[in-house]
Structure 1
Amino acid sequence: MRGLVADTRPLQDAPFRRLWTAQIITVIGAQLTIVAVPAQIYAITGSSAYVGLTGVFGLVPLVVFGLWGGALADVFDRRTLMMISTVGLIATSAVFWLQAALDLGSVWLLLVVFAVQQAFFAINQPTRSAILPRLLDAELLPAANSLSMTVTQAGAIGGPLVAGALIPVLGYSYLYLIDTLTLFATLWAVVKLPRMPIQGAPTGTPGLRSVLEGLSYLRGQPVLLMSFLVDIIAMVFGMPRALFPQIAHESFHGPQDGGLAFALLFAAIPAGAVVGGVFSGWVSRVSAQGRAVIVCIVVWGLAMVGFGVAVGIAVDGSSAVRHLMLWLSVLALVVGGAADMASAAFRTSMLQSAASDAVRGRLQGIFIVVVAGGPRIADVAHGAAAASAGTAAAAAGGGVLVVVGIVVATLAVPAFVRYRITTPAR
């Protein structure tokens, strides 16, 4: 069992332990907002296409400020940058609360505030990731990332379940308020960090040139480039989360503004990721990491095919059939979540072993753009596909495209499949 469960040695470091503990407090609130925003948009408009617009309004600031934020994190004190971006997240969450409390009912206001929030998030996350190697020894980084991802995904289970239950009872404002208050825990943990000036920081004001230098560095790293590409394929084609409100309402006959089916669908992928994270000890013993990533993403794609098929059967089924298909849909998403967790563990390990402190922020900026940007493109693509072909076809067809895309990418860059670490971590 010791070789299977997650490694907790990073928690012996006090600054990391404070960040991780604050993350436990903050993640539930963050997930409440993640669920409340699309639910509120769907309640206002009744359209998955509008829900899919969160992908556009989230992606643009994510790309711009993710890349620029990574450049900032390679110049300025990372503790200071974390403080500023965390305050920004608190402020935008408070605006979400205010618009809901006043019952403004403006979908465009929601989308604009969401875009601003994503800009602060895009600065915060690369900076946070770049901080970890300054707090922990290199051998503890995979375990630290696994612990953080497990907490994030655990919150993504609790958040949808709580949100699905509370939205019909309390409305959206209380969910946004909880997010606002819990973010102060992260601010406290950041304030307690030591100052972190950059070792070998570039001179001048970070801008386009600094970003391009980070991208240029990646051109000589084909394995890392391929790790980004396969993740884009998996997320863009295979992430059906924008369809969850409509599927819960139309396929499983849940209420338009939440309900059990809505909560279960949102919680299923993170539930699988938590299971994968808790039992992630085996990941460090795999040497053929490129092949493992490919296998994990193929499993993800097949799971999305199964999800789409179950949704399609439920549409015209009896009450008993819908109930069975709901749980089969949840199971398919759980399997996909576990596969994605393992894939993320391998890809993160590949990235963190390739950067010096002077470029670490920019690489993490690129990483956050790829990892978080892919699902936002998926929101737009799935929303548009569902509007023309239906939710079941959009979900199942996306899974098929994942498998096809991975096969094509594997044939194009066989070096990635052959990639293995020389000595497996112990």
Structure 2
Amino acid sequence: MARFLLDISPVREIPAFRRLWMGSTLSMLGSQFTVIAISLEVFELTRSTFAVGLVGVFALVPLIVAGLYGGSIGDTTDRRLAGLWTTVGLFAMTVALAAHAWLDIRNVAVLYTIVALHSFAQGLNQPVRGAIVPRVVPVRQLPAANALFQLTMGSCLMIGPLLGAFTVATMGFQWAYTLDALSFGVSLWAMYMLPSLPPEPGDDGAATRAGFRSVVEGFAFLATRPNLRMTFLLDLAAMIFAMPRALFPVLGASVLGGGQFTVGLLTAALAAGSIIAGIFSGVFIRINHHGRACAAAVAGWAVCIMAFGAVVLVASGGWGADTVWPLIVSCLALVAAGVADSVSMLFRTTILQAATPDNLRGRLQGIFIVVVAGGPRLGDATMGTGGEWLGPGWAALGGATMCLALVLLLVRMFPGFMRYDARDPQP
């Protein structure tokens, strides 16, 4: 049975990874306190859902810009120092959020400004942190290490908003932000305890300088590496055309009923799938043909969202007043989709880390951050528009069908990806 369960050997055997994982877990949980607190505070100040939506805009643009530049920094400076100082920046912005709450500065413009600066610091930090992992974890243990991160991410996304909302309701915004700031203590300690990780030289023997030219070099490298490029294309196909979360509010308000409770339940179902995939990740980490597994997982995501859309269509067409069974089946489809998405992320991340030369890992991680952050938001726009024009059922079914067709097309266009083998990683 142990072969099918989560492999914790990276935590047990590699002290540096153990500290990174602990720090990431606590800071990720604390970040969810801040995410929910900011949304609630902006709504309390403005009573406008549009104003709440603007939080995402102020967060996304700095994240994209800083994500690309942060990857460049990670490839040209000591990653320990870069990770330490960018974590300090994140900590400072979280302290600023706590300070504004304790000082009772009730101004939405101040909140938007801190959100943008926090997101900029996060964009600098994440590519560096992602590039550090392959330097401290052997290639053979990367799938297990990524599975551990996937499990904690799914758990934090499921539990964090609930704990954050409870903290705001019982203790106020001040403590929600303060607890997030305190959660960075372990993360700072983990970065401080790392050994020196100086940049490795490129093919010409010299390290690349940080800046715009360095970022362009990262894109140029990606353009010539079909296996790495395929991981990005598969993720974009899944997120842009088959991410259903924009449909959850209208489903809670009409088709499935239950209002905000249903929205929370559907959202939690996706996160629950990620947790299940993490617990049983032993099934996946022993697979060597990562390309096939990644493509199959994205296709599985599309099929699950197609099933979700079919259930919504049937419910819309007269399942009767009983919305319990449609809700249960919808949640089951989303749990399965969450499993598929988590497995896809596991293999995409591992391929990116293993097949990218160390002197380019930071920049590729930066591009990865942009795709991961931007894809779902484009998906919200695509699915939201489709839901408005076609109805939620047809939007989900049609979008997922498009995703599946794109997966099949991409597999045909890049046949080498299906031959990718973790024992001989080729970009």
TM-score, normalised to structure 2, is: 0.85
Equivalent pair of 1:161/1:260 in contact (CA under 8 Å) = no
The answer to whether the aligner puts 1:209 opposite 2:210 as a matched pair is no
Change (3 A) 1:340 1:42: farther
Distance across 1 between alignment mates of 2:185 and 2:139: 29
**Alignment map for 1:247-266 (pairs within 5 Å):** 247-248=251-252, 254=258, 260-266=261-267
Q: Per-residue deviation at 1:276?
A: 0.8
Consecutive unaligned residues of structure 1, counting only runs of 5 or more, are none
Partner of 1:327: 328
Equivalent pair of 1:164/1:263 in contact (CA under 8 Å) = no
1:307 corresponds to which letter in structure 2? F
Partner of 1:353: 354
Change (3 A) 1:51 1:379: farther
RMSD: 3.2
Partner of 1:18: 19
- Match for residue 245 of structure 2 among 225, 241, 247: 241
2:214 corresponds to which letter in structure 1? S
2:30 corresponds to which letter in structure 1? G
Partner of 1:156: 157
Q: Per-residue deviation at 1:300?
A: 0.9
Change (3 A) 1:75 1:303: same
Change (3 A) 1:253 1:419: same
Partner of 2:228: 224
Distance across 2 between alignment mates of 1:312 and 1:46: 30
Partner of 1:63: 64
**Alignment map for 1:123-202 (pairs within 5 Å):** 123-163=124-164, 165=166, 172-200=173-201, 202=206
Q: Per-residue deviation at 1:58?
A: 3.5
Deviations 1:187-236 (A, max 9, x none): 22222222322232755741111111122222221111011101111112
The answer to whether the aligner puts 1:5 opposite 2:9 as a matched pair is no
Greater mean deviation of Cα atoms: 9-18 or 387-396: 387-396
SS at match of 2:150: helix
Change (3 A) 1:97 1:235: farther
**Alignment map for 1:334-345 (pairs within 5 Å):** 334-345=335-346
Change (3 A) 1:403 1:40: farther
Distance across 2 between alignment mates of 1:399 and 1:82: 38
Q: Per-residue deviation at 1:282?
A: 2.4
Percent identity of equivalent pairs: 37
2:336 corresponds to which letter in structure 1? V
SS at match of 1:321: coil
Change (3 A) 1:190 1:250: farther
Equivalent pair of 2:33/2:165 in contact (CA under 8 Å) = no
Partner of 2:106: 104
Greater mean deviation of Cα atoms: 172-181 or 80-89: 172-181
Distance across 2 between alignment mates of 1:365 and 1:45: 35
Change (3 A) 1:96 1:392: farther
SS at match of 1:3: helix
Equivalent pair of 2:244/2:380 in contact (CA under 8 Å) = yes
Partner of 1:398: 399
Change (3 A) 1:67 1:170: same
Distance across 2 between alignment mates of 1:289 and 1:22: 28
Residue correspondences, number: 419
Deviations 1:363-416 (A, max 9, x none): 221222222321232234344545555555544443233223223323333332
Q: Per-residue deviation at 1:72?
A: 0.3
SS at match of 2:196: coil
Equivalent pair of 2:75/2:208 in contact (CA under 8 Å) = no
Greater mean deviation of Cα atoms: 280-289 or 68-77: 280-289
